[in-house]
Amino acid sequence: MITREGRAKAAKLRDRFEAAGAQVVEPPMLQSAELLLDLYGEDIRARAYVTSDALRGEQMLRPDFTVPVVQMHMAHGADPARYTYAGEVFRRQEEDPDRASEFLQVGFEVFDRTDPAAADAEVFALMAEAVAGLNLRAATGDIGILTAAVNGLRTSEARRAALLRHIWRPRRFRALLDRFAGRAPVPASRTALLANPQPRLGAAPLIGVRTEAEIEARISALHADAAAKPISAAEMELLDTLMGVRETVPFALSQLRDLTVDMPSISGAVEGLAARADALVARGVDVDTLDFEASYGRTSMEYYDGFVFGFYAAGRADLPAVVSGGRYDALTRRLGKGAEIPAVGAVLRPGLLAELEAGA
């Protein structure tokens, strides 16, 4: 439930971010379902409220602010630019009735190509200052390091693309890795399909949306995948080691630099982490005690593709992240119609802040 205290907190936070140089924006509450489905796939229907309009077609109550803010900026924003906003977002809850389906978010977004590491540190430090005094635990990660590792795998382009699509779905990602490494058996239905020289002979009439050509292309892709060599045990071990890195930033950086000897594809992303650590220190953040997890953020919004972070209430595992944020450069490419700009941002839950402050 959205409380009066939560709304008051949201207004104060937005004023704070405006004072830090952000322009106040108010994205519309209804968003194009077509755009969100294109970004997230049909999965978004399970966590968004969908409605329809005779003129605008299928619409969704905004599940967050970042996508409409990026759309707005890529259409007519300045460079560089900083934005802040406050308002309701909506998430369907089908499994946990105690989780809010409508709540407030306050955000701060930076579009600046000058120094991405400095922009990352700016957003993180601003969020840390906003929640100072509540003894929250900060967690950080970098999706870009795992993405670079996948891009460096000695396997087919199709397999790399499949893994990249599912980085934000850890179980599916692991299942694909195990199958591509030959650790998991091929499903019996696929084995039968691949063994049949004429799988479409005597098949039922086409009644779905796929054409005959699309079905044939899919069967050809399955044959190509079956012929691909498995990912080597050595590469799998390196990936497992990478995904298991969980340390404070200096020790994590040391471990990751050791891995670059055998995983040169991650070198650039790891040095990006080093630059961010230096920028955080310049902002007064104690990186010696700041946690870094290489797998952190893989269940967050799928547009994050670099630095990711969150702040959590100690001893309150029942609460979601009070603050969450990250870098989403790829989203600006997708929505920019050829243009792009490095971008990073974060959102706070003012209702949770008000609740924690009252408890403290």
- Which pLDDT does position 328 carry in this prediction? 94
- Which pLDDT does position 95 carry in this prediction? 67
- Which pLDDT does position 122 carry in this prediction? 98
Pick the closest to residue 64 from 98, 81, 40 (CA basis). Answer: 40
Pick the closest to residue 117 from 346, 344, 348 (CA basis). Answer: 344
Q: How far apart are CA 169 and CA 214, in angstroms?
A: 26
Residue that wins the pLDDT comparison between 213 and 246: 246
ω into residue 80 within 30 of 0, thus cis?
yes
- Which pLDDT does position 185 carry in this prediction? 79
Lowest pLDDT segment from 124-128, 201-205, 346-350: 201-205
- Judge whether 345 and 107 are in contact, CB under 8 Å: yes
Residues of CATH 3.30.930.10 domain(s) within the chain?
1-132+342-360
Pick the closest to residue 329 from 84, 21, 111 (CA basis). Answer: 111
- Which pLDDT does position 252 carry in this prediction? 98
Q: How far apart are CA 114 and CA 31, in angstroms?
A: 31
- Which pLDDT does position 292 carry in this prediction? 98
Looking at residues 186-212, what average pLDDT do you find?
66
pTM score above 0.85: yes
Cα angle 142-92-10, degrees, rounded to a multiple of 5: 70
Lowest pLDDT segment from 50-54, 118-122, 176-180: 50-54
Contacts of 129 (CB under 8 A, 6+ apart): none
Mean of all residue pLDDT scores within the chain: 88
CA 290 vs. chain centroid, Å, equals: 20
Looking at residues 60-84, what average pLDDT do you find?
90
pLDDT above 70 covers what percent of the chain? Answer: 89
Residue that wins the pLDDT comparison between 142 and 102: 142
Q: How far apart are CA 285 and CA 124, in angstroms?
A: 9
- Which pLDDT does position 255 carry in this prediction? 98
pLDDT above 60: residue 64: yes
Q: Which amino acid is present at 309?
A: F
User: Given the DSSP bridges, would you call strands 307-313 and 136-142 parallel, antiparallel or unpaired?
Assistant: antiparallel
Class of domain 1-132+342-360: alpha beta
Looking at residues 151-162, what average pLDDT do you find?
94
- DSSP 8-state class, residue 203: P
- DSSP 8-state class, residue 246: E
Q: Over the stretch 247-267, which tens digit does the pLDDT of each residue have?
A: 999 999 999 999 999 999 999
